[in-house]
Each structure stands twice: as structure tokens, then as C-alpha cells.
Structure 1
Amino acid sequence: MTEKLSAARIKANKKWDDENRERKRYLNSRSAARGFIKNKATADDIEELTKLLANRKQELNLK
């Protein structure tokens, strides 16, 4: 993937980023969380995250 982007593609990407700031933040946060869990989380981290997820599910009224 060493292909360079055209000027039009760079402009389109910037326009999307500017118009979708919150969506981009959401996607970046989700990606960071998944990467942490998959690659760096310890057993203690997993235990704490499991509790946090259970609480969040309750807040969202999920089963």
C-alpha cells in the first residue's frame, strides 16, 4: 500500500474528515480499545474491562 493518493482523493478525505469529526473520533476510539484488548491487556485489565462492559450494558438496557 505504498500507492500515493491523488490530490482529489486527499481533498475528498479531508472534506469527509471535516464533515464527520464525531464519527472519526468514535472510530478511532473503538479501534484503540480493540487494539489494546487484543494486544496489550493484562488479566487484571480484562477483569476490570469486563466489569465496565457489564455496567455499560446495563446503562444501555442491553441483556
Structure 2
Amino acid sequence: MALTESQHKAINRYRSKNKAQVQYINRRSVAKNFILKDATQEDLEMLLDCIKKRQQELDN
């Protein structure tokens, strides 16, 4: 289903007004896809360590 010109404009307006949220969603998607599709055992171990450290930071 093709988007209309007004839909494209609305999407671009949203993206320009919500840059931080759009960036957050994009980064989360990239991270999830890396974990699910490309990560090795070594990558997963490193990421788990990083996640534990980040959780401790957020808890403090």
C-alpha cells in the first residue's frame, strides 16, 4: 500500500518534532536485530555484562 503525499508529510513532521524518540526506537530496533540475527556467544556474553552494569546504574 503506497503512502499519499500528505501521509509522507505527516511522517516527516512527526520525525522532525520527535527526533529523540525516533532515534531511541531506531537504536532499540538495531540492537534487537543484532542480538536475534547476528550475535555470537561472545557478543551475547559481553552484552549481558553491559546490561547488568546499566541496570545497576539505573537502580542507583
TM superposition score normalised by structure 2: 0.96
Q: CA RMSD of the aligned region, Å?
A: 1.0
- Which residue, out of 17, 24, 27, partners 1:26? 24
Runs of 4+ displaced beyond 2 Å? none
The answer for unaligned runs of 5 or more in structure 1 is: none
Q: Distance in 2 between matches of 1:9 and 1:27?
A: 20
* 1:24-62 CA-partner distances (Å, limit 9, x unpaired): 000000000000000000000000000000000000008
Of structures 1 and 2, the one scoring higher in RCO (CA 8 A, sep 6+) is: 2
Identical residues among aligned pairs (%): 33
Number of residue pairs matched by the alignment: 60
Consecutive unaligned residues in structure 2, runs of 5 or more: none
Post-superposition offset of 1:4: 1.1
Q: With structure 1 as the length reference, what TM-score do the two structures score?
A: 0.92
Question: Whose helix proportion is higher, 1 or 2?
Answer: 2
